[in-house]
Amino acid sequence: MSEHISLAVIDRIKDRVHALVTESRTRLKGCQYIDVRIEVSESKGAYAQNGTAKESQEDAEISMGVRVHAGESMLAPGHYGRVLGSTDVQNLEGIVSEGIEHAYRRAWANAARKMDAERALGPLSNALASTTLAPIQIYQDTVMSPVRIHPATRALSDILGEALSISQAVKSYDARVLYNSVGIGSMMVRELFASSEGALIDQLYPLTQGFVYVVAREPGSAPEAHYDWVGDLKGWEVLEGENVHGKTFRQFAQDLTHDTVELAGAEMLDP
């Protein structure tokens, strides 16, 4: 049975994941360190090409990664990662447990090969080192980045309409514009980090981006292509001018189109 993927998944599993990491570190022989990372995102996006709507999408994704350090005289890391689906959400704790076991076996295999190399190399084995982490301060915290215009509040039709309108504006800017594509994406990302040292960090942040690709050609010359992104760790307000350029996405696209057309018409320099 499948379960809807949403940012709220983290609320349900974070305490259990933290306990699982701590318990596994104690239970597994020779295990010195474990951390688990889980990321969930909810996104909306749209794409237009040459003034024509091409696609729009609304999606949710979840993935996980595990790191384990284990061994005897020589410690080594083992890793495991997996992209998950809606059918995995209900059994997420079991999947995390399997991932820890998998990474643990890889860590032991790596450590065994290190120890074999240490015995075989003799004095040269000084080049090998046990994998240890620098001591750091341990945090348990929840970090929620502010967002003025939440991606969830934007209708998919509005996002597609914005991409389409900008693509049409780029197309009609100048007869020398041969091709353009415009993409918009806005999402919320939630990340969980739990370690056997005691860390438990729950982080939520937005990410919004706009992409423009323009091809222009002066008659009798080669085409000139420019592309660029504008984006920030904010909501839809990024496309309304709250970005490093201080421009709306529409103005950003227009300026890029202007530069492309201008360069396409520039005279060639003498060799």
Residue 209's CB is within 10 A of a number of other CB atoms, namely 18
* pLDDT value of residue 124: 77
Q: Tell how far CA 40 is from the center of its chain.
A: 10
At 125 the pLDDT is 75
Q: What is the pLDDT of residue 120?
A: 86
Where are the domains positioned within the chain? 9-264
pLDDT, tens only, 56-85: 999 999 999 999 999 988 899 999 999 999
Binning the chain into helix, strand and coil, the percentages to the nearest 5 are: 40, 35, 25
Report field, pTM of the whole predicted structure over 0.85: yes
| Contact between 245 and 255 (Cβ < 8 Å) | no
* Segment 110-140, tens digit of pLDDT: 999 988 888 888 877 777 888 999 999 999 9
Q: How many CA atoms lie within 13 A of 34 on its CB side?
A: 29
Architecture of domain 9-264 in this structure: 2-Layer Sandwich (3.30)
Instruction: Give residue-wise pLDDT tens across range 164-221.
Output: 999 999 999 999 999 999 999 999 999 999 999 999 999 999 999 999 999 999 998 8
